[in-house]
Amino acid sequence: MLEKKHLEFREKVRAFALEKIEPAAAALDLEQRFPDEHMQPLTEMGLLSMLIPEKYGGKPTDTVTYSIAVEEISRVCGSTGIMLAAHNSLGTFPILYFGTEEQRQKYLPRAARGELIAFGLSEPDAGSDAGGTKTHAHREGDYWVVNGSKCWITSATRAFATIAVARTSDDPQDKHITSFIFERDWEGYSVGKKENKLGLRGSDTAFLHFDDMKVPQANLLGKVGEGFKQMLITLDGGRISIGAMALGLAQGAFDCALRYAAKRVQFGKPIAHFQAIGHTLADMATEIEAARLMIYEASAMKDAGVPFSRQSAMCKLYASEVGTRTAAKAITVLGSIGYNTGVYPVERIWRDVKLCEIGEGTSEIQRLVIARDLLKSLEKVG
């Protein structure tokens, strides 16, 4: 399915990840430190502008290439992987897709230069039920006045702008939700305390608060009332990248388990030669390969411009569950040393990959999206 250009890109980005990203991965996790040192190399490699057209300073690629990038970076560092995925898929995509030319010219060149854009959908009372947004915006002349909070915001402490939705109707029953581009420097915009998470500890996650924040009409994204659908369209693409992230983490755990099993001698031979371990490795490799094919298929469908919501949900669901299974099995293969912190990366990966079953829609939401789509296709057939 992959073309020569994809294989060549994989080699290039893998070498880059090993040289520039992997050396800091364990320390970022241990110290809960944002990967500041990765920003310049990632920008120079074009990995923070993969969806941005050249005229705005980007280095655009197809979605398959983008998925390979997220996969390979996550293979060595989940925290850097999620920062990359959130910025490209959730930060830059909505501006490109729904923004005006003026908005693209204002924000995309900065994003291409490595300044991060965040995505604010979730709220304390609006997680899986994203339509339950309580953040509110009302019009006052040329401005919107916004009040509310967003939670679990990736790169919240670093982002110079955030794509976020607010309710623009007083009726809690309707989904009259509108998207905006908010800027960090505005009065009324504040960033909450960094969350203390199980994994992805190098990725900054925090609340955003908006307190009587005045938003110029020019920062309305798309049309009033279309925000909820825009966010669901954005998440269709984002879910592929979370699948790619889970895939990379799974591959990282598997690589470690395979190498360890091939050299760890017990009962007079490497443990990989015992059937129990050999079959475990075979199952891990098979599931990883299946996840990879699903991710590339969903990516190719997005590039082809055909509906891909179902495939996006499926690849995210499957890859993230493969990721958690693979990381757990990798610890089993390594035994006690795998359970130790800071010796092998498998315990970090085990902690990191769990997020892939939660972020950008839980596994339960992916199953809901898939089931609804299956029924819709049945209705079409009759």
- Tell me which stretch binds ligand COS (CB under 6 A): 159-167, 283-291, 341-349, 359-367: 359-367
Provide the 8-state DSSP code for 268.
T
In the complex, the smallest distance separating the C-beta of residue 359 from ligand COS, rounded to whole angstroms, is 5
Among positive and negative, which fits the CA dihedral 121, 124, 130, 132? negative
Nearest partner of 76 among 37, 36, 21, judged by Cα:
21
Mask: binding to ligand COS, 204-243, rule CB under 6 A, as x and -? ------------------------xx--xx-xx-------
Q: Which of 37, 347, 360, 364 is catalytic?
A: 360
Name residue 230's amino acid.
Answer: Q
Q: Which of residues 138-197 bind ligand COS (CB under 6 A)?
A: none
Number of residues that bind ligand COS (CB under 6 A): 20
Q: Which of 40, 100, 105, 128 binds ligand COS (CB under 6 A)?
A: 128
Torsion of the alpha carbons at 237, 155, 178 and 176, rounded to the nearest 10: 80
Q: Give Cα separations from 189 to 164, 204, 217 (angstroms).
A: 12, 17, 17
In the complex, the smallest distance separating the C-beta of residue 225 from ligand COS, rounded to whole angstroms, is 10
Q: Which of 46, 131, 188, 270 binds ligand COS (CB under 6 A)?
A: 131
Q: Which is nearer to ligand COS, 107 or 152 (CB)?
A: 152
Q: Which is nearer to ligand COS, 163 or 256 (CB)?
A: 163
- Tell me which stretch binds ligand COS (CB under 6 A): 23-31, 122-130, 183-191, 269-277: 122-130
Q: Give Cα separations from 236 to 54, 307, 318, 339, 354 (angstroms).
A: 24, 10, 15, 35, 20
Provide the 8-state DSSP code for 195.
P
In the complex, the smallest distance separating the C-beta of residue 257 from ligand COS, rounded to whole angstroms, is 30
DSSP H/E element including 379: helix 363-381
Q: Which of residues 291-310 bind ligand COS (CB under 6 A)?
A: 309
29 binds ligand COS (CB under 6 A): no
Residue 230's region, left for phi above 0, alpha for psi from -120 to 50, else beta, is alpha
Residue of minimal CB distance from ligand COS?
Answer: 361
- Tell me which stretch binds ligand COS (CB under 6 A): 162-170, 181-189, 198-206, 364-372: 364-372
As a whole number of angstroms, the distance between CA 165 and CA 235 comes to 13
Q: Which is nearer to ligand COS, 46 or 131 (CB)?
A: 131
Q: Which is nearer to ligand COS, 245 or 333 (CB)?
A: 245
Task: Note if 360 is an active site residue.
Answer: yes
Residue 57's region, left for phi above 0, alpha for psi from -120 to 50, else beta, is left
In the complex, the smallest distance separating the C-beta of residue 127 from ligand COS, rounded to whole angstroms, is 6
Of how many residues is the chain composed? Answer: 382
In the complex, the smallest distance separating the C-beta of residue 154 from ligand COS, rounded to whole angstroms, is 7
269-273, Cβ contacts within 8 angstroms, sequence gap of 24 or more: 271/333
Other CB atoms within 10 Å distance of the CB of residue 212: 9
365 binds ligand COS (CB under 6 A): yes
As a whole number of angstroms, the distance between CA 326 and CA 330 comes to 6
130 binds ligand COS (CB under 6 A): yes
Residues lying near ligand COS in the complex (CB under 6 A) are found at 119, 121-122, 128-131, 228-229, 232-233, 235-236, 309, 359-361, 365, 368-369
Active site residues: 360
